[in-house]
Amino acid sequence: MRKEDKSAVIGQLTETLKEFPYFYLTDIEALNAEKTSKLRRECFKQEVKLVVVKNTLLKKALESQEEDFSPLYDSLKGNTAVMFSSVANVPARLIKDFTKDTKGEGKPQLKAAYVQESFYVGADNLDALVNIKSKNELIADVIALLESPAKNVISALNSSGQTIHGVLKTLEER
């Protein structure tokens, strides 16, 4: 690869790192063409950008960022594919669903992740990443908590109104 090509790839990776707040480093080396295509389709459906990269070029792109990504450098060995996402837990769920039949031992396998300004290194962190709630899920939880007391009051008023109506109807019939 020529030096100009390498610098262009580093530039593209740098822009992609700025565009997406979360990324996962994965190993997809053992996947055949059919499974790789299936993985890419699933990534596309869930708005995850999957890019196979050279480790040295990714490391240079990470070094050019303002944040210190040095905890991830040890994970840049062997075959590396990066899953970029705007939602924190989508790539983790995708990996977990894709490896469901192999009990988490198959490919793609999580090497490391950068999620919510934290580093997760190792495949054993996959369950923790799956359980991270996205911004929309947190907002939905807060709204549900705020609606709960109002629903209880309305429900109580409706049921007591029916009770009073029932008592009055009984008295009227006597």
Contact predicate 75/111, CB 8 Å = yes
Strands (E) in 18-168, as ranges, are 22-27, 49-53, 80-85, 109-115, 118-121
**Overall pTM surpassing 0.85 (yes/no):** no
Beta strand pairing call for 22-27 and 109-115: antiparallel
| pLDDT tens, position by position, 92-131 | 888 888 887 665 556 788 888 888 888 888 888 888 888 8
DSSP code for 13: H
Contact predicate 78/56, CB 8 Å = no
| pLDDT tens, position by position, 49-99 | 998 889 888 888 888 888 888 888 888 888 888 999 888 888 888 888 888
